[in-house]
Amino acid sequence: EPEVTQTPSHQVTQMGQEVILRCVPISNHLYFYWYRQILGQKVEFLVSFYNNEISEKSEIFDDQFSVERPDGSNFTLKIRSTKLEDSAMYFCASGRLAGAQETQYFGPGTRLLVL
């Protein structure tokens, strides 16, 4: 069964450093998403991406964040200058189509720790 994969599984970085989190969505999916979950808190939406552009973003997704689909398979989240409060699990998700009847499938996550 196809799965969303994410790398790395864990990332430790120093405050102020740039990090890139990588995701390989399910191959025939067209809609891509990033969510994050701070330890002990709810899963929060960051951004959705379709047709090589952002379709929706939350207020969390400020100028420090960017997303890219550099090739036909990868989908990346870049945090330009990490802050302590960026420490969280980051989940990538993908969906075949948009619409309420279309399921999103989540990856296993990347645990980011900013020191």
Partner 1 sequence: DAKTTQPTSMDCAEGRAANLPCNHSTISGNEYVYWYRQIHSQGPQYIIHGLKNNETNEMASLIITEDRKSSTLILPHATLRDTAVYYCIVRADNYGQNFVFGPGTRLSVLP
Question: Which residues, including other chains, have CB under 8 Å from residue 93's CB and lie 6 or more apart?
Answer: 4, 32, 33, 34, 35, 104, 105, 106, 107
- In the list 50, 69, 96, 113, the residue contacting partner 1 (rule: CB under 8 A) is 50
Is 103 an interacting residue with respect to partner 1 (CB under 8 A)? yes
Residue 2 or 16 having the CB closest to partner 1: 2
In whole angstroms, give the CA distance from residue 57 to residue 41: 19
Residue 108, interface with partner 1 (CB under 8 A)?
yes
Give the per-residue contact string, 25-44, with partner 1 (x = CB under 8 A; - = no).
------x-x-x-x----xxx
| Alpha helix segments (H runs only) across 1-115 | none
By CB under 8 A, is residue 22 in contact with partner 1? no
